[in-house]
Amino acid sequence: MALTTGTHQFASSMQDSLVGLPILGLALAVWLVDRHSRPGDVLPTCGNTFFKHLGPELAALLAVALLASTLLGNGGHNGVHEIPSEDHAVWESITNEWQLLTTADSLIGLQAMLRLLLLASAVLRFPQAETSPLVSEPAAFLFLASLCRAATLVLSPADIYHLDGPLGGILNIIVEALAVPLLLRLSFSVLRQAKARIAACVVAAAAAGVAAKFHRLALADAGEEYLDILFSASQLLEVLGAGAFLLRSLCISDVGSFTTFAHLMLPVQQFLGTYFMLFSWCPDAFVEVPQLVGEGHPLLLLQASGLMAVGFYLIALAIYIGTCIPEKDAVHRELHQHLEV
């Protein structure tokens, strides 16, 4: 009983501290915007650049939204297997709980679609995107995460790790498969980094693999526990990618249109996956479901890492907004001097 109480206290403390990360990042972003976007001010340079040069991305984003809305509006099941008759009652219960999305899997499906849009933009705009924080180490971690997801889909039976619902099935398989070569292209430049940085990436990725081995779910059949390990590893590699993105944001001052797009899209798509981790398994976050636990504390770890990734991306967004401000202030000073003359 004492151990159980201690575990609940630890989970509650972890939840309070990690939920504060995205809130802190969001508060910092709002403060920067409020401080430097007063009435009469022009939009920051990165905002002007975003709307001026990202027409194709915005059109593609609208197309993705329309496709997802149409599929979700039609409802139904787009999985790679038919729902057995004995599971119809369970399926109906799930669809009643997630009325708008049909099933929680739609969160992961939509996340994958937004991720693919961002990666396609990065590759098509690569000379410009190469100066953004997304390439190199972040892309390498995200590539490994994408490789784990693709391997899970290939090796998993149809009723284990494949997505159900309107955004699942073959659509999700294609989207996840296309993300792998795109991320591979974006991660090439990591090989040009110093050996110490490459070694740090290798050690971090290996640590994620070890943590995944000792903190895994129990969704796969006996003898196929590697699927659970791959699933946990993909989520942990995602947070490593988010952390690397934040670190590179501290060092890179690029305010190009793609960089703006990446800073806006990454927290949105990560939030979708994190929301799935928090509330798809159990109505309450940071509560382990014993029948889903294969080893360790996978739900606590996956939910915590998801919140950390969202927090990292929000803080990176706040920092990026800050990099746009000096250019705007310089324009204001020049205008003020002109008026004085």
Residue 226 falls within a domain, yes or no? Answer: yes
Average pLDDT of the segment spanning 188-201: 90
pLDDT exceeds cutoff 70 at 263: yes
**Rounded Cα distance, 266 and 264, in Å:** 6
Average pLDDT of the segment spanning 282-293: 85
Residue 261 falls within a domain, yes or no? Answer: yes
Number of domains forming the structure of the chain: 1
Residue 24 falls within a domain, yes or no? Answer: no
pLDDT exceeds cutoff 70 at 89: no
| Weakest-pLDDT range from 26-35, 72-81, 138-147 | 26-35
Residue 13 falls within a domain, yes or no? Answer: no
Residue 18 falls within a domain, yes or no? Answer: no
Helices 257-279 and 105-124, packing angle to 10 deg: 160
Average pLDDT of the segment spanning 239-248: 95
**Rounded Cα distance, 264 and 268, in Å:** 7
**Whole-prediction pTM:** 0.81
User: Which pLDDT score is estimated for 84?
Assistant: 62
Residue 132 falls within a domain, yes or no? Answer: yes
User: Which pLDDT score is estimated for 122?
Assistant: 94
Spatial CA neighbour of 256 closest among 208, 199, 324: 324
Tracing tokens 């250019």 back to the chain, one arrives at 327
Identify the band that residue 215 occupies on the pLDDT scale cut at 50, 70 and 90: very high
Residue 331 falls within a domain, yes or no? Answer: yes
Greater confidence, 333 or 282? 282
User: Which pLDDT score is estimated for 310?
Assistant: 95
Residue 176 falls within a domain, yes or no? Answer: yes
User: Which pLDDT score is estimated for 17?
Assistant: 45
Average pLDDT of the segment spanning 69-91: 68
Domain holding 277, by residue range, is 44-340
pLDDT exceeds cutoff 60 at 86: no
